[in-house]
Structure 1
């Protein structure tokens, strides 16, 4: 569904060759709608239809007086006062509902927000955007379901087209069989002689993989393993989702840190578009900075969707943890945050309403945490947030030959570049239902397989994949920062990671970023 045009469209700047739109199934699944800025302005804004974000508690009487003519109303949260007293900085989600005599299908956050802003009561309110993982995928919204591409014997697995720029071989994930040895073993804490740098990967969570020290779901995480999780944060994200569900919102729950497919009701068994996204990024960190620790935080669903309200909850929690650690009152240090996700703001005038996201990123930056974010994959100069926020390590993608990848967003706001095309990393050992397109008998030679087949692009049982996207450029940038932090700490005592105070953290971050000239 397309909303009304905003008041200040971006015109033709950064126009896309092909418009990007999430599928109708994704919109329904997450209770979302599309605000298409139109006139070739690039990728549209996607938002939750029944939710607004508030910087301060809204005046229900005043707001609902304005909204009466729209057939909508804001509803009170019975626990809001308790949460306000606990911490006034927390993200506030406000539920939008139909008035008793109105059609619930007409509830639309953008229509309500525009009416409130025009009346002078909406400056503290904003949309709850859907952010999307910034990876190139086979079965993307550009081609999903098309009779020309989807499962066609003319394109899928055909030796005439496989790896063609017009099919998945140019950017879609592919299983690979890795024959290289595993990355170097991590040094023990005693051998390291310092605190490990922590890279928080806010993504699809974790999956079992030997490179990542991740056991089977439900088993305890190893002490001082490469990957760690934060059960308190995952519980806070789930609690926020449960409140919105209780208020009548349609959304998908995130119950814990483990990679899981979204619930679609499908019995086909195909792998979700972003399944393995977080595991792939964690593997990049493992290859580049094996002595680091990945803090895997699940905010992204396996179809690539991130609710802005969940992301804000996670960023709040991380900033709290870092500030407590620096003050010596508990908490946990985080050195780098990887955000391989993003969205496009409604228009230039509405960029100021990024304050919800900007405030939380600024808290991390002020604490000396490096924030690396993906520039996006829509070949546009239109700002992709959070990458376009000041101070963020906004990262675009190179091809293997060091040319800028055709898919990568670009513009003055993209300040860093890293390889992001056809990278190889860890992936959940899963197999989908698609199977090979071509199979044939191969004879009966003893000890040899009895069949031939084309590549099964849905079989990742070896646990490795090739994938492309600025998601992975950002993951690589985050990993390289962690490696530089370790190297600097080994040569300069003033940059040791065990020094937790804020000035030391800021100096470490500043010196690390000097290794990556803009």
Structure 2
């Protein structure tokens, strides 16, 4: 994937995202257009700056954005674990619990594992949703799937692969995957990836795509940036943004994003879960990052949704004056995993 750095944001060079209403306005800078699933990717003529053109179009009231690059947020630096570490098998049986709740998981995919052998939801995971076996973030989706299914026993996952083995994707890919969810929206959606934007403003097409899933609680990671700079889509008002606390579950993990735009937090350090059965790994690993704190919060919401609508439950929890808050981290979701 070709990537261009703009400040601390990353974009696909020469690409602009918009909807059909702006195509006429960009026609003189357009080399080609690919349109699918609710978004137009405009391939710009050589020398045209997508960030400058975005600002001009937004000044005209049009929906536009550079095609931002997003990345999964496991921890690779500056914390207790710089990569996934092999761990002995984790004694867990799924049991016979069944839930009507569906959790959407857009990530690197999910591979086979004893924890969901024979489950209805995994039977529907095709080759195109299989987890990557090569790359710095191979196994990321499988790790998250384990956290979700343990935190919300019996939950059904709906898997979509949007991240490659290095944990990379772009805004157009995510928007299109979200668009395809409209027909059968899940109750909860886990997005353990994100990005900064070139101007620190919310990306409008990504915001529109998430907002269109009006019955879904979307949960996204606050990023491993160690800063209060907004991280998207977690910082969107319609998203539950999740930071990570350390193993004490009392302090912010040093790498975690934080700020008034964060809604909740959970442990992100040294979590253990399902992983690839390859090389030194026997299907289990320990890993850290806001990616995994996000899965714990999404799982807690999915578990509560067995008895109460997910939107109603999380809104009451976050809005209650009696719910304990950690400054710049939001509501703590304790975990024993």
Matched, 1:304 2:167: yes
Q: Which has the larger radius of gyration?
A: 1
Structure 2 equivalent of residue 197 of structure 1: 101
CA-CA distance at 1:301 after TM superposition: 0.8
Partner-residue secondary structure (3-state), 1:170: coil
Higher strand share: 2
Structure 2 equivalent of residue 426 of structure 1: 274
Structure 1 equivalent of residue 120 of structure 2: 224
Structure 2 equivalent of residue 109 of structure 1: 50
* Per-residue Cα deviation, 1:182-217 (whole angstroms, up to 9, x for no partner): 234133xxxx5xx6211111100011211122xxxx
Structure 2 equivalent of residue 281 of structure 1: 144
Structure 2 equivalent of residue 155 of structure 1: none
Structure 1 equivalent of residue 328 of structure 2: none
Structure 1 equivalent of residue 70 of structure 2: 131
Distance 2:171 2:23 in 1: 22
Q: Is the 8 A contact 2:9 2:196 kept in 1?
A: yes
CA-CA distance at 1:226 after TM superposition: 5.2
Distance 1:404 1:227 in 2: 38
Change (3 A) 1:391 1:113: closer
Distance 1:289 1:508 in 2: 13
Matched, 1:359 2:208: yes
CA-CA distance at 1:223 after TM superposition: 6.2
Matched, 1:260 2:132: yes
2:238 to 391, 397, 403: 391
| TM-score normalized by the length of structure 1 | 0.57
Paired residues, what number?
Answer: 319
Matched, 1:344 2:196: yes
Q: CA RMSD in A?
A: 2.5
Structure 1 equivalent of residue 91 of structure 2: 181
Distance 2:209 2:67 in 1: 15
* Per-residue Cα deviation, 1:273-311 (whole angstroms, up to 9, x for no partner): 111000000000121112101111100011111111110
What are the ranges of 5 or more consecutive residues in structure 1 without an aligned counterpart?
A: 1-29, 37-43, 68-72, 84-88, 99-105, 141-165, 214-221, 232-254, 262-270, 323-333, 432-458, 490-494, 496-506
2:4 to 29, 33, 42: 33
Change (3 A) 1:201 1:97: same
Partner-residue secondary structure (3-state), 1:371: strand
Q: Is the 8 A contact 1:91 1:313 kept in 2?
A: yes
Change (3 A) 1:485 1:122: closer
Structure 2 equivalent of residue 96 of structure 1: 44
Matched, 1:470 2:290: yes
What are the ranges of 5 or more consecutive residues in structure 2 without an aligned counterpart?
A: 324-330, 332-337
Distance 1:508 1:471 in 2: 20
Higher helix share: 1
| TM-score normalized by the length of structure 2 | 0.86
Matched, 1:401 2:248: yes
Q: Is the 8 A contact 1:56 1:124 kept in 2?
A: no
Distance 2:145 2:123 in 1: 8
Q: Is the 8 A contact 1:171 1:421 kept in 2?
A: no
Distance 1:259 1:121 in 2: 42
Structure 2 equivalent of residue 248 of structure 1: none
Change (3 A) 1:510 1:76: closer
